[in-house]
Amino acid sequence: MSVRAYKAFDKTMQCRGFQFEVGQTYEHDGKVVACESGFHACENPFDVWSYYPLDSRYAVVDLSGEVSRHGSDSKIAAARITISAEISLPQIISDGISHLIGLCENAFALKPDAAASGYRSQLAASGDGSQLAASGNDSQLAASGYRSQLAASGYGSKLAASGNDSVCMAGCGAAVRAGEGGAIAITYHDGTRYRIAVAYVGEGGIEPHVDYRVTDSGEFIKALG
């Protein structure tokens, strides 16, 4: 039995010095222990950002053989891994939203992992490592815990993560803020195609706890009003 999961790599398709290639299967010789040995990946696409930055390369993988699960998130170690297909950042965002909605399709607020699909949905979480997703337009998501992960695909959404090291992903027209050490990504259309702008709090003038939008040229500007 195999487990479908997601894995991130550096720009050369390496992870911790091991070279991977799409379409190949790799076997681990020895004991399998999550966070220690074996090949690692995450069932929740958003969890990969706990280990790799947003500008990584990503792949859908299949894990099989002996497995060991990590108690704090969806990370799994396995004896065998197949790199099934490389995917883009927009795809891992889309898959992450679908994953959260699938976990709690009818949840609307105040849960560690929550998702909503209706327009103008409002979700909030206070625990560390909270994960929230909304697909409807004008959704509002807020998390106060450290390392929170927020994603909204609807137009005009508002995302705010006040805890440190949080990640916020949003669709066109969104206003997004993150705390110290956080990262934000917003899609935009440059007149030809959709693109994704990525910014890191503390770099390039991006300030913590300040709302930002993206222009049609992919520039982050402070969101007024």
Of the candidates 124, 60, 138, 127, the residue with the CA atom closest to the CA atom of residue 98: 60
Record the pTM: 0.66
Of the candidates 80, 25, 18, 111, the residue with the CA atom closest to the CA atom of residue 8: 18
Domain extents for the chain?
A: 3-87, 92-222
Contacts of 51 (CB under 8 A, 6+ apart): 8, 40, 42, 75
**Encoded tokens for 77:** 């170690």
Span 53-87, pLDDT tens digits: 878 999 999 999 999 998 878 999 999 999 999 99
Per-residue confidence band for 7, with pLDDT thresholds at 50, 70 and 90: very high
